[in-house]
């Protein structure tokens, strides 16, 4: 019990630490490639993800992008229609694909 009290005091002290100057979060622009299908990507994907999520995947194959879209629909229950899934896939393959 005494250990819990000490842990609580130490934790509370750390949480109340003060910073004497303003904290600035660096701006990190994500270069988004505009093109056919971007509106669908924006409506269906960017409501949950930043565009950095797409960029962090790197240039990938059609199979990879199709798998990502299917994972979002099946496992995460994203309400993406078959039509929109195809549009998203085409956009990602065209702009962030590796030609495979």
Please give the model's pTM, rounded to 2 decimal places.
Answer: 0.71
Residue 47 CA to residue 15 CA, distance in Å, equals: 31
Lookup: tokens for 36: 């056919």
Q: Is 55 helix (H, G, I), strand (E, B) or coil?
A: helix
Q: How remote is the C-alpha of 73 from its chain's centroid?
A: 15
Write the pLDDT tens digit of every residue in 18-55.
767 887 878 777 788 899 999 999 999 988 888 888 88
Residue 62 CB partners (closer than 8 Å, separation 6+): 89, 93, 97, 100
Q: Which CATH code is given to the segment(s) 32-100?
A: 1.10.760.10
Residue spans of the domains in the chain: they are 32-100
Q: Please write down the long-range contacts of 23-30, taking CB distance under 8 Å and 24 or more positions apart.
A: 28/52, 30/55
């Amino acid at each position: 019990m005494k250990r819990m009290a000490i842990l609580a005091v130490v934790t509370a002290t750390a949480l109340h630490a003060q910073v004497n100057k303003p904290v600035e979060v660096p701006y990190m622009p994500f270069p988004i490639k505009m093109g056919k299908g971007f509106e669908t990507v924006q409506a269906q994907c960017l409501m949950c993800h930043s565009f950095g999520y797409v960029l962090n995947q790197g240039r990938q194959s059609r199979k990879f992008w199709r798998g990502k879209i299917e994972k979002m629909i099946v496992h995460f229950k994203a309400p993406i229609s078959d039509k929109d899934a195809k549009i998203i896939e085409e956009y990602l393959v065209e702009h962030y694909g590796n030609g495979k």
